[in-house]
Structure 1
Amino acid sequence: MNRIVAVESSKELARFIDFPHELYRDDPNYVPELFIAQQDMLSPHKHPFYEHGSVRLFLAYSNERIVGRIAAIHNQNHIDFTGNKDGFFGFFDCINDPAIAKALLQQATEWVKEKGNTNIIGPVNLSTNDTCGLLVEGFDRPPIAMMSYNAPYYAELIVGAGFKKKTDLLAYELETKEANERTLKLLDTLEARLKRNGITIRKVNLKKFAEEVPKIREVYNSAWDKNLGFVPMTPKEFDYLAKDLKLILDPNFCLVAEKDNKLIAFALGIPDINQVLIKIKRGRLLPTGIFKLLFQKKNITRLRVLTLGVVEGYRKMGIEACLYGNIIKNTYGTKITGGECSWMLEDNYLMNHAIEQINGKLYKRYRLYEKEL
């Protein structure tokens, strides 16, 4: 007998977080999320998202066995900023059973509809500032840091429940040894031209990180304001993310562009912590996971450029190329041999072209789905 149950207790929340570990137990490409991080993210009293949003978690049972999970998400900031009454679903995992998947998605749909939403989009965990998109191409390798992973059959389950494609999110692979040498050789010329216009590139100052964060947030929120589904991060949300990222931040891969002491662009590359997390059983740091995390960080060989944005009015000046070029150049002499630029909207032709110009190759594709209510 199948049934859908709302998560009400801490014990049920732990089951919700742990379900993917059981589902992907035999999948060598599955990377477990850190339990403590997921617990904080899904706890209203711990994560700043809940100051403007609400989430309802559901588990699917077949008899007494958990066979699926989903989160229904209402984001008031998204509605206020975009004017669209979109609800979201996220944290979707399910066995390959169309009836169970349909029941889960229907439950999420009904919940966001009760909140007054007229459309539902997903998967999104919790917003587009977090992990989102369903993997539809590129199942042969583990995901890189802060990117999603799922079995190939998920797409059929979601479409079978009445959802259609909204847009694709692209991930490009780039090997540093294959990066376009001409682009790197042009760095000095490009930077000299920018300098003549009063624009300089520098590393983020970790010693003054608290001063840097508000300036970076301002660039982040203005540089992406026209992207699909983007909602500006609140100061508390950005501080929450920055605090987590600082633990793995390397200033060589966290760069800003300035003009007249004002930040006009920002690029962030983070080490692929998934190379360590994949070895931490069930995402538990204790008793041994913490040691793997601490001691294996230095052996990471991949980097993810997870955000690069330029404030409007300063685009097409070569700033994007300089930021990418400097990140690539700064990998020389380190253990980093390549990485991923992600995610990029499929219709963001300017940025996609910039990555292709330095020999980036499209190797993974993620999809957002939607359904009118």
Structure 2
Amino acid sequence: MKRIIPVASKKDLSFFIDFPHELYQNDPFYVPELFTAQRDMLTKSHHPFYEHSKIQLFLAYNNGDVVGRIAAIQNNNHNKIYKVTEGFFGFFDVINDNETAKMLLDTATAWLKEKNLDKIIGPVNFSTNDTCGLLIEGFNGPPVAMMPYNAPYYLPLLEKAGFSKKVDLRAYRYTAGDYNDRAAGLVEKIEERLQRNNIVIRKINLKNFKQEAEAIRKVYNKAWDKNLGFVPMTDKEFDYTAKDLKLILDPDFCLLAEKDGEIVGFSLAIPDINQVLIKIKRGRLFPTGLVKLLLNKRKINGIRILLLGVVDGYRKMGIEACLYGRIIKAFQAKKMKYAEASWTLEHNDMVNKPIENIGGKLYRKYRLLEKSIA
């Protein structure tokens, strides 16, 4: 007999976090999330998201076995900024069964309806600052760091449940030796021109990380304010994310554009830590996972270009080209094999065209879906 229950205990939460491991146990491309990271994210006393918003987790059972999971998410900051009454669903995983998927989605929808929300959008794990999107093209390899993964059958399940496309997100791939490195060759000339306007490009100073992160947060919230569904991070949310990123940060791939001491742009590429995480069984660092993480971290040969933004008033001055050029030079110096630039909005030509001009190949697509709440 199938039933849906709310997650109400630590045991339930463990089942919620572990379900994808069971679902994808025979999938060679599945990358487990670290258990401790997921537990902290989904525990109200641990994550700053809960200071302004709410979620409810649900599990689907069939004769005593977990067969699906979902989170209903009420992001009050999103609704306040956009003056809407929308809800999200996230952390969605399910067996290939229309009835089970519909039961989960209907349960999340009903919870959001009780909060007087009139639309459900997803998959989104808290907000678009976090992991979001349903993989719809490019199932031929594991996801890169902080990108989602799901089986091909998810899209038909969601469409059968009445969801339709809101927007597609893109991921581009660069392969060593197969891209245009012209930007790298022009870096010095561009930097000389920028310096005449008192703009310098420099690496992040990890010894002064707290102050650097604070300055980056202000740029982040300004540079992405026009992106679809973008919600500025609170100070605590940004600090929470920055603390996690610092663990894998490579200063050669975290660059700041500074004008008279003020940060006006930055870029961030992170090592593809999924190359290591894919080997850590069920996302547990103990007893052997930590050893694998430490031993293999230095062997990572791919990156994800996660962020590149410049605030209004400083765009199209060459800062973006310089930041990309610096990333390419570091990529070459470290003999990396691939890079993924993700994600971008499908209609954002101002971002997508330069990526394509440098030689990025569109190789994966993700989709946000929506449905009205009657």
TM category, shorter: over 0.9
Structure 1 residue 29 corresponds to structure 2 residue 22: no
Instruction: Specify the code of the residue in structure 1 equivalent to 2:148.
Output: S
TM-score w.r.t. the length of structure 1 is: 0.98
- State the distance in 2 between where 1:355 and 1:195 align: 25
Structure 1 residue 152 corresponds to structure 2 residue 155: no
Confirm or deny: 8 A CA contact 2:88 2:124 kept in the other structure. yes
Deviation at 1:192, TM superposition (A): 1.7
Confirm or deny: 8 A CA contact 2:183 2:324 kept in the other structure. no
Tell me the residue number matched to 2:267.
267
- State the distance in 1 between where 2:181 and 2:347 align: 27
Structure 1 residue 193 corresponds to structure 2 residue 193: yes
Deviations 1:298-353 (A, max 9, x none): 00010001111110111112211111110110122324222100000111111111
Deviation at 1:179, TM superposition (A): 2.6
Once the two structures are superposed, the pairs formed by residues 94-173 of structure 1 within 5 Å of their partners are: 94-173=94-173
Deviation at 1:177, TM superposition (A): 2.2
Tell me the residue number matched to 2:284.
284
* Secondary structure of 1:332 counterpart: helix
**Residues matched between the structures, number:** 373
- State the distance in 1 between where 2:354 and 2:317 align: 12
Deviation at 1:184, TM superposition (A): 2.0
Deviations 1:94-128 (A, max 9, x none): 00101110110011111111112111110011211
- State the distance in 2 between where 1:123 and 1:57 align: 14
Tell me the residue number matched to 1:248.
248
Tell me the residue number matched to 1:222.
222
Bigger mean CA offset, 327-336 vs 237-246: 327-336
Instruction: Specify the code of the residue in structure 1 equivalent to 2:63.
Output: N
- State the distance in 2 between where 1:176 and 1:190 align: 24
- State the distance in 2 between where 1:237 and 1:354 align: 30
Once the two structures are superposed, the pairs formed by residues 304-343 of structure 1 within 5 Å of their partners are: 304-343=304-343
Confirm or deny: 8 A CA contact 1:300 1:335 kept in the other structure. no
Runs of 5+ consecutive residues of structure 2 not aligned to the other structure: none
Structure 1 residue 92 corresponds to structure 2 residue 88: no
Confirm or deny: 8 A CA contact 2:181 2:328 kept in the other structure. no
Deviations 1:76-99 (A, max 9, x none): 111111112110000000001011
- State the distance in 2 between where 1:154 and 1:191 align: 46
Deviations 1:17-52 (A, max 9, x none): 000000000000000000000000000000001001
Confirm or deny: 8 A CA contact 1:257 1:319 kept in the other structure. yes
- State the distance in 1 between where 2:313 and 2:358 align: 24
Deviations 1:187-240 (A, max 9, x none): 222222222222111100001001101100000000001111100000000000
Bigger mean CA offset, 27-36 vs 112-121: 112-121
TM-score w.r.t. the length of structure 2 is: 0.98
Confirm or deny: 8 A CA contact 2:87 2:117 kept in the other structure. yes
Structure 1 residue runs of 4 or more that deviate by more than 3 Å after TM superposition: none
Confirm or deny: 8 A CA contact 2:120 2:370 kept in the other structure. yes
Tell me the residue number matched to 2:210.
210
Tell me the residue number matched to 1:295.
295
Deviations 1:60-84 (A, max 9, x none): 1111111110000001111111112
CA RMSD of aligned residues (A): 0.9
Instruction: Specify the code of the residue in structure 2 equivalent to 1:15.
Output: F
- State the distance in 1 between where 2:233 and 2:324 align: 24
Tell me the residue number matched to 2:38.
38
Tell me the residue number matched to 2:370.
370
Instruction: Specify the code of the residue in structure 1 equivalent to 2:236.
Output: K
Confirm or deny: 8 A CA contact 1:135 1:367 kept in the other structure. yes
- State the distance in 2 between where 1:92 and 1:126 align: 12
Structure 1 residue 2 corresponds to structure 2 residue 2: yes
- State the distance in 2 between where 1:120 and 1:324 align: 36
Confirm or deny: 8 A CA contact 2:164 2:369 kept in the other structure. yes
Confirm or deny: 8 A CA contact 2:98 2:160 kept in the other structure. yes
* Secondary structure of 2:333 counterpart: coil
Confirm or deny: 8 A CA contact 1:176 1:328 kept in the other structure. no
Instruction: Specify the code of the residue in structure 2 equivalent to 1:114.
Output: E
- State the distance in 2 between where 1:302 and 1:154 align: 28
Tell me the residue number matched to 2:63.
63
Confirm or deny: 8 A CA contact 1:299 1:335 kept in the other structure. no
* Secondary structure of 1:186 counterpart: helix
Deviation at 1:183, TM superposition (A): 2.4
- State the distance in 1 between where 2:20 and 2:182 align: 44
Instruction: Specify the code of the residue in structure 2 equivalent to 1:2.
Output: K
Instruction: Specify the code of the residue in structure 1 equivalent to 2:62.
Output: S
Confirm or deny: 8 A CA contact 2:70 2:108 kept in the other structure. yes
What is the identity percentage for the equivalent residue pairs of Structure 1 and Structure 2? 63
